[in-house]
Chain A
Amino acid sequence: MTASVVVLLVATIAGGGSAALAGEHLHGNGPFLIAQDSVEAARDLFRQALQAAQGDDFPGARALVQQGLQLRPRDPDGLNLLGEIEERLGAPRSAIAAYDLARIADPEWVVPLSGLGRVYVEQGEFLSALPHLRRATELAPQDPAAFALLGSAQRGLGRTRVARASFQQAWDLAPDSLQLGVDVASAEFADHDLDAAIATAELLTEQAPGQSVSWFTLGNFLIESTSVDHFVRAPAAFRKAIETDPASPALWLRLASVYSELGLTNEREAALREAVALGADGTDIWLALGDALEMQSRHTEAIEAFGRVIEADPGNGRAYYRRGQVYMSMNNRDAAEADVARAIAATPEDIDALLTMAQFQLNGGDPEGAEAYVDRVYAVYPGATEADLMLGRIRVQQGRTAEAIPLLERAAAADTDQIDAEYLLGQALLKEGQTDRGRDLMAEYQTKLQERRDYHVESLRLGVMGRGRIYKIRGRIYLQEGRSEEALEQLVAATEMMPADGEAWALLATVYDALGRTDEAASARATATSLDDEGPQ
């Protein structure tokens, strides 16, 4: 091919995925001799197409570039340009075809290879993307976009280790790219290296402290950690993100979900309300708010929240069901039953609601009424062992113990945690005279009940001691967020409940320092020191 140098500037076209690079393309003539004026005419059309594309007239641009390709069908620049235009027009298959032809026309050119890789990745066809992207990185080892795309393809195939390496290479080539930093951190997380992900995210917050995405990324990884030292910092990270982007309801919603994970229900509620104040709406948000209120035993407000969902979406069966549960907590069983009935009317296949209604009927001394609802569960889910259990209970109440036995056997076999089925089965067997088997089951049940009871008691013990621990954690969270007054309240409670916990006293000292209460800080610090000197209790 006769080398013919044509300089074609390809403008960066803003949009998703890696940006096309401004650059110079050298190519020789193809295997066919082309008349010089055809070349110029085609080039001219390509330039016009580029201008049209820059003016967002992509249909016009396509027409122009297609005209040019009629003059020079194998022009790699034109084919590549067509690929980019088709991509912008949302025609991935056409884009792929164009890029592929460009690749064939000039196999050493990295741009169509990247284009192919990009489109295949966006379509989720990671395996198809791989060879092109590998070739691209070979041809352009200094091209961060190619490595980033390669990493995306590898990640899509679950090859987390190599994906991580590819993203790292991309970032090494473009260390100022925040997006690539996020990609690296995400790849490290996907590769089960949370510590590295957190470290990378921290680096991003140092490099781009004014960018919400860096703090957001850090927060996401911190909350994934099981280490107290990490997860107590998560809310503070999200608050930083919010500081840099205060108009984003999505950030408040994310913060709310983080508080939910941390068990700070009141904070969750507050964050949800901030999101609502910023315009976030939608039934999911009000459902979450209702849940948060109910967990704080603020039943009336929870009722209102679920009521809003119902008002906005009268067919929202889940809202009726949740409101019904709140009414149950308030001992208002009439209202509870009415709402569960509405939940069923709205969502006739809601098994939870159907079984709850069956329970209402059974509690009201109407086993036949209960059975009607159980039949409806079976109609939705023929093998539902929850329905087997309920029907088994109904049969026991009706004195039809023999019929209850196979139902309870199925329920007990299906879920080893469903020990109430085992209890009922054992009782039914005893009452039907199957004494040996009944006694054996009761003995097993006794053991499981004891294990469950021991676990519950231990949890309670840990809870009460652990409640000291929870107060301490909450104190640390508030400290990280710079909320000293709230931190003080929590840490005072923590030291009261765990007077031998030196760390709690040390944290308390820190809070007092932050509040300028130096004498109390000194006293708390002295206590912490003396406990440390005594060694572990």
Chain B
Amino acid sequence: MPLYDLPSLSRSPYAGVVAAGLMLGVALPALAQSSFTEDTEAGVDFRHTSGRSASKFVPEIMGSGVAWLDFDTDGRWDLYFVDGGPLPGVSPLKTTAAAAGTNRVFRGNGGRFDAAPAAGLGNRGYGMGAAAADFDNDGWIDVYVTNFGADALLRNNGDGTFEDVSALLPTRAVWGASAAWGDLDGDSWLDLYVTNYLDYVLDSVPLCSHLDRGIRQYCPPQRLNGASDHLLHSQGGQAFVDITITAGVANAAQGKGLAVVVVDLTEDGLPDIYVANDSTGNFLYVNRGDLTFDEQGLISGAGLNDLGQPQSGMGIDVGDLDGDQAPEIGVSNFIMEPVNLYSRVAPGLYMDASFLWGVGEPTLDTLGFGLAFLDVDGDSDLEIVVANGHILDDHAFFEQPNQLFHNGQAEARASGSDTRPTFAPVAGGALARPRVSRGLAVADYNSDGRPDLAISNNDQPAQLLMNTSDAANQRLVVRVRGTATNRDAVGATVRLIALDTDDNFVRQSATTMSGASYLSRHSGDLHFGLGEATRTGIEIVWPDGQRADLGPVDANQLILIRQGSGLVATRPLGDSR
């Protein structure tokens, strides 16, 4: 297996040193309203086109996703925006530009972006989302694009071009939404799960109308049939086999999937698949280890809301929200439905704590799509960001503010009070300006260690939101690369161990995932806030179960950990603009 160095990083002096406990400071700064500032000078000028028409076809309201990826491996994050455009054979209400419907790439250049030709990535299907990963382990990131219509697999040639290798796909979705890569059988090759939203053919959609108002309206998902998701098993990165049925994930009857994540949710070392479905209950496919899965969404408690009712699952994220080193699952939903926060009670058992933790009520007013858990302020616990926007353009609240919820657990821990997570909405700021938001993806594009956001808005300009929270807290960004496992190390878990001022261990855990959010792709780097601590111990568990203890590691670095080699490169964090 070849080694993949990042030429811009230097070797860490701490490689091989056993982890040691470190101090975690107190008096953490509160999250300010101006945590995010819209960076309008960065050169990102993408505007999404939905092709909205008088016929009110459902794809028009779904928006599209955004992906962070380093397609040219220069160490800087690039942006890939998926576009919709006019639906085939449908006249939009507004005239669209000639380029509408062409996905666009923006190459990162030290905190700025250049519109890049990136030949082959301008897939012209009616675009939904993008899931990027190095599926053939050649060191170059590839892209799977979901469309209303046939999806596309675009392989990175390593020379700035992409080749359409969709012929490798045995099955092509009819309406792909989100997709996620994961090594489901531990053979080091990434398999692919694709959610299919609805069985929807433009020529034969039903007429849906508002009875009392007598006007045509978008059909609700309950009125339409679902379409089965697909699970494609990689054959050494050279081909794929459709194992949907044999794997036990054929779900046309109840499957109206919009979001998916591949991550170990049952804590047995095997990656599971969690799918958010629109109005039919979410799926938790528990990996049996033999490429078969057992659907346990209902039993797990993460399939429905706390009243046992399905919600309109749009976006997902997974992360340790309460500091117990076990994952919580977040799902964004429709208006009058809260963002679910499924808190882990036992391996594979969850309880919806959204109201208890303070997120439920404030999210009843909004219609959520993209979702991200991230440590915005660097105080060692995760905040929640939701990208909101209604679907009905004649609704009074069509444009909605995106939401940021600050996690007060670190402050509570520091003051010795109850450490149950409490999330408080942070009002105002660039994030809260009303938009019709859809895709949301996280990356530190200016390399200052603070995670930033890219948001795709339906029929509106995209937004690049720079994290401008107080830089006082220390941070660590971890990038992992597999050698005996898949190169992207999807499924690797990194744990930090530190000591707080009361000599209590403070642990953080994060897993590299594919999928998450809505139709979008986070960068894949793991961002940790360390508060005032300047060093931390690190443990990594690779997807194949190998463990490695590293550290202590200094804060305020981007570090590269390679399987079998440990810490191989570091780069200090600092604004690279």
Contact B211 A461 (CB under 8 A): no
Give the dominant DSSP class at A's interface: helix
Residue of A nearest to B357 (CB): A365
Determine whether A453 belongs to the interface, using a CB cutoff of 8 Å to chain B: yes
Query: A266, A362, A422, A431: which contacts B355 (Cβ < 8 A)?
Result: A362
- Interface digits, A78-103 against B, CB 8 Å rule (1 contact, 0 not)? 00000000000000000000000000
Determine whether A460 belongs to the interface, using a CB cutoff of 8 Å to chain B: yes
- For B301, the chain A residues whose CB sits under 8 A away are 427, 430-431
A253 to chain B, nearest CB (A): 22
The 7 A-B pairs with the shortest beta carbon distances in the complex, nearest first, are A423-B308, A420-B307, A420-B308, A363-B361, A442-B299, A331-B365, A363-B355
27 A-B interface contacts by CB (under 8 A) = A265-B212, A331-B335, A331-B336, A331-B365, A331-B397, A363-B360, A363-B364, A365-B355, A365-B361, A396-B306, A419-B308, A426-B299, A427-B301, A430-B299, A431-B301, A439-B299, A442-B298, A442-B299, A446-B298, A449-B308, A449-B310, A456-B222, A460-B220, A460-B222, A464-B223, A467-B211, A496-B207
B 298-336 contacts with A by CB, 8 A: 298-299, 301, 304, 306-310, 335-336
Contacts A265-B212, A439-B299 hold; do A453 and B280 have CB atoms under 8 A apart?
A: yes
Determine whether A489 belongs to the interface, using a CB cutoff of 8 Å to chain B: yes
B393 to chain A, nearest CB (A): 17
Q: How far is the CA of A297 from the CA of B392 in the complex (A)?
A: 16
Determine whether A523 belongs to the interface, using a CB cutoff of 8 Å to chain B: no
- For B361, the chain A residues whose CB sits under 8 A away are 333, 363-365
- Interface digits, A325-336 against B, CB 8 Å rule (1 contact, 0 not)? 000000101000
- For A464, the chain B residues whose CB sits under 8 A away are 206-208, 223
Contact B306 A424 (CB under 8 A): yes
Q: How far is the CA of A406 from the CA of B365 in the complex (A)?
A: 34
B307 to chain A, nearest CB (A): 4
Query: B214, B223, B345: which contacts A493 (Cβ < 8 A)?
Result: B214
Residue of A nearest to B309 (CB): A420
- Interface digits, A389-430 against B, CB 8 Å rule (1 contact, 0 not)? 000010011000000000000000000000110111011001
Contact A427 B364 (CB under 8 A): no
Determine whether B478 belongs to the interface, using a CB cutoff of 8 Å to chain A: no
Contact A461 B223 (CB under 8 A): yes
- For B201, the chain A residues whose CB sits under 8 A away are none
Determine whether B27 belongs to the interface, using a CB cutoff of 8 Å to chain A: no
Q: How far is the CA of A199 from the CA of B364 in the complex (A)?
A: 54
B425 to chain A, nearest CB (A): 12
Residue of A nearest to B281 (CB): A449
Determine whether A378 belongs to the interface, using a CB cutoff of 8 Å to chain B: no
Contact A365 B358 (CB under 8 A): yes
Q: How far is the CA of A419 from the CA of B298 in the complex (A)?
A: 14
A 429-478 contacts with B by CB, 8 A: 430-431, 438-439, 442, 445-446, 449, 453, 456-457, 460-461, 464, 467, 470
Contact A397 B364 (CB under 8 A): no
B 352-404 contacts with A by CB, 8 A: 353, 355-358, 360-361, 364-365, 397
B 500-534 contacts with A by CB, 8 A: none
Contacts A296-B212, A427-B351, A431-B351 hold; do A365 and B309 have CB atoms under 8 A apart?
A: no
Q: How far is the CA of A446 from the CA of B336 in the complex (A)?
A: 24
Give the dominant DSSP class at B's interface: loop
A420 to chain B, nearest CB (A): 4
Determine whether A173 belongs to the interface, using a CB cutoff of 8 Å to chain B: no
Determine whether B54 belongs to the interface, using a CB cutoff of 8 Å to chain A: no
- Interface digits, B200-220 against A, CB 8 Å rule (1 contact, 0 not)? 000000111101101000001
- Interface digits, A277-313 against B, CB 8 Å rule (1 contact, 0 not)? 0000000000000000000110000000000000000
- For A496, the chain B residues whose CB sits under 8 A away are 207
Interface residues of chain B, those whose CB is within 8 Å of chain A, are: 206-209, 211-212, 214, 220, 222-223, 280-281, 298-299, 301, 304, 306-310, 335-336, 345-346, 349, 351, 353, 355-358, 360-361, 364-365, 397, 422
B253 to chain A, nearest CB (A): 9
Contact B223 A331 (CB under 8 A): no
Residue of B nearest to A452 (CB): B309
Query: A362, A445, A489: which contacts B298 (Cβ < 8 A)?
Result: A445
**A: number of interface residues (CB 8 Å):** 41
Contact A430 B364 (CB under 8 A): no
Contact B355 A364 (CB under 8 A): yes
- For A493, the chain B residues whose CB sits under 8 A away are 209, 214
Q: How far is the CA of A266 from the CA of B208 in the complex (A)?
A: 21
Determine whether A174 belongs to the interface, using a CB cutoff of 8 Å to chain B: no
Determine whether A384 belongs to the interface, using a CB cutoff of 8 Å to chain B: no
Residue of B nearest to A441 (CB): B299
Q: A331-B336, A362-B355, A363-B355 are in contact. List 9 more A-B contacts (CB 8 A).
A: A365-B356, A365-B361, A397-B355, A431-B345, A431-B346, A431-B349, A442-B298, A445-B298, A449-B281
- For B214, the chain A residues whose CB sits under 8 A away are 489, 493
Q: How far is the CA of A380 from the CA of B94 in the complex (A)?
A: 60
Contact A424 B358 (CB under 8 A): no
B532 to chain A, nearest CB (A): 29
- For B208, the chain A residues whose CB sits under 8 A away are 464
Contact A430 B212 (CB under 8 A): no
- For B355, the chain A residues whose CB sits under 8 A away are 362-365, 397
Q: How far is the CA of A442 from the CA of B349 in the complex (A)?
A: 13
Among B211, B336, B349, B365, max chain A CB count under 10 A is at B211
B450 to chain A, nearest CB (A): 29
Query: A364, A393, A449: which contacts B306 (Cβ < 8 A)?
Result: A393
Q: How far is the CA of A396 from the CA of B345 in the complex (A)?
A: 11
Q: How far is the CA of A331 from the CA of B337 in the complex (A)?
A: 12
B412 to chain A, nearest CB (A): 14
B219 to chain A, nearest CB (A): 8
Q: How far is the CA of A367 from the CA of B356 in the complex (A)?
A: 8
Query: B222, B280, B349: which contacts A430 (Cβ < 8 A)?
Result: B349
Determine whether A52 belongs to the interface, using a CB cutoff of 8 Å to chain B: no
Contact B308 A422 (CB under 8 A): yes
- For B212, the chain A residues whose CB sits under 8 A away are 265-266, 296-297
B200 to chain A, nearest CB (A): 15
- For B364, the chain A residues whose CB sits under 8 A away are 331, 333, 363
Q: How far is the CA of A258 from the CA of B397 in the complex (A)?
A: 35
- For A331, the chain B residues whose CB sits under 8 A away are 335-336, 364-365, 397
Q: How far is the CA of A461 from the CA of B225 in the complex (A)?
A: 11
B403 to chain A, nearest CB (A): 14
Contact A423 B357 (CB under 8 A): no
Residue of B nearest to A332 (CB): B365
- For A442, the chain B residues whose CB sits under 8 A away are 298-299
Contact B356 A423 (CB under 8 A): no
Determine whether A497 belongs to the interface, using a CB cutoff of 8 Å to chain B: yes
Contact A423 B349 (CB under 8 A): no
Residue of B nearest to A465 (CB): B206
- For A424, the chain B residues whose CB sits under 8 A away are 306-308
Residue of A nearest to B304 (CB): A423
B419 to chain A, nearest CB (A): 14
Contact A457 B222 (CB under 8 A): yes
Q: How far is the CA of A426 from the CA of B306 in the complex (A)?
A: 12
Q: How far is the CA of A485 from the CA of B295 in the complex (A)?
A: 55
Q: How far is the CA of A439 from the CA of B294 in the complex (A)?
A: 14
- For B310, the chain A residues whose CB sits under 8 A away are 449, 453
